[in-house]
């Protein structure tokens, strides 16, 4: 059971670190650059949302207003406009590569790995408890 508690703490720490990292990325986002680029390329917000971001126009506006635009959506927009994702971030944050996205993906993979380990440990504990009862 100690292992279970340690695994849960590790899992929670990873989730907290992921949130901190995503908040840092979010704070560096410059949503006006998305809108400016769309205007420059003569792409309506409706088309940007539906065809580029693969979401509804209302959902797109809500994501921007609530600062919850996902990395996946940002990747889609950058790819469609043929620009680096860095274009959408303020220069003051000195984002020079996609390493931040890679870091998030690595953290997500680690969370999945820990969740699998946790499930395996739970299964072992269940089997152990069953064998003790018999």
Domain ranges of the chain: 1-29+95-134, 33-88
The average pLDDT across 26-41 equals 80
H helices then E strands: how many in the chain? 6, 0
Which pTM was predicted?
0.50
Q: Tens of pLDDT along 84-114? A: 887 887 665 444 444 566 777 777 788 888 8
Higher model confidence: residue 12 or residue 77? 77
Torsion angle (degrees, nearest 10) of CA 90, 92, 93, 98: 60
CATH class of the domain comprising 33-88: mainly alpha
Q: Tens of pLDDT along 115-134? A: 888 888 888 888 888 888 76
């Amino acid at each position: 059971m100690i292992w279970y508690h340690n695994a849960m703490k590790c899992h929670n720490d990873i989730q907290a670190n992921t949130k901190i990292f995503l908040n840092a990325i979010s704070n560096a986002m410059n949503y006006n650059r998305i809108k400016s680029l769309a205007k420059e390329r003569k792409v309506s917000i409706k088309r940007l949302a539906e065809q580029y971001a693969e979401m509804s126009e209302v959902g797109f506006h809500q994501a921007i207003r609530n600062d919850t635009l996902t990395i996946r959506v940002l990747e889609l927009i950058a790819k469609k406009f043929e620009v680096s994702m860095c274009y959408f971030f303020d220069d003051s944050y000195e984002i020079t590569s996609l390493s931040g996205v890679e870091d998030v993906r690595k953290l997500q993979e680690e969370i999945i790995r820990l969740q699998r380990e946790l499930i395996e440990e739970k299964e072992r504990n269940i089997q152990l408890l069953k064998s003790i009862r018999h």
